[in-house]
Amino acid sequence: MRIVFAGLLLLSATVLSQDANVLRRYRNFIARHVGQVSRDRCDHEMGRRRLTKSSDSNLCRDTNTFIGDSAGRINLICGGAGAPYGGNFTRSLQPFPITICNLKNENARQPHCQYRGRADTRYLVIQCEQGYPVHFERDIV
């Protein structure tokens, strides 16, 4: 009986840990990609969100895509508003407004990052876990 209980306790801890990891990745996705950003505000928004090449670097991120819609609407892609796309990804069934910010000054470091923004409307390809978007893969026409 004790072994069964210990096993259930361990399994519960593992599930909770996995859930916490998915929620952390979801919050990171939201912080990195969700929000209305005009193409002439890329410098400001990339700096405000502290988006760099990696979490332990101050090198400017080469590119970032902002999705100009609500997190709730984007979440729907992981349900009925999305379709399987390639291996692990889901494609939105509807296009979304996006702003793509591309670095102009290669190898720059924060706070000297300068971006060129481009606005468009595209379908999204994202990775979903447990019904949440956790990774932006790309946009498609």
Dist CA 141 CA 133 (whole Å): 20
- Residue with structure tokens 């709730």? 72
Catalytic residue among 33, 77, 78, 85: 33
Domains of the chain: which residue ranges?
2-140
Continuous H helices in 59-122: 71-75
Buried b (16+ CB within 10 A) or exposed e, 112-140: ebebebeeeebbbbbbbbeebbbbbbebe
Per-residue pLDDT of the chain (141 residues; tens, 9 = 90+): 555 444 433 333 444 456 999 999 999 999 999 999 999 999 999 999 999 998 888 999 999 999 999 999 999 999 999 999 998 999 999 999 999 999 999 999 999 999 999 999 999 999 999 999 999 999 998
Give, in degrees to the nearest 5, the angle at Cα 107 between 106 and 109. 115
Separation between Cα atoms, residue 78 and residue 86, nearest integer Å: 14
Nearest to 69 by CA among 132, 124, 130, 1: 124
Start-end of H helices in the chain:
2-33, 42-48, 71-75
User: Annotated catalytic, 33?
Assistant: yes
Can 44 be counted among the known catalytic residues? no
CATH match for 2-140 among 1.10.357.10, 3.10.130.10, 3.30.1050.10, 3.30.70.20: 3.10.130.10
Looking at 39, 73, 122, 135, which residue is catalytic? Answer: 135
Please tell me the pTM assigned to this model.
0.85
pLDDT confidence of residue 55? 82
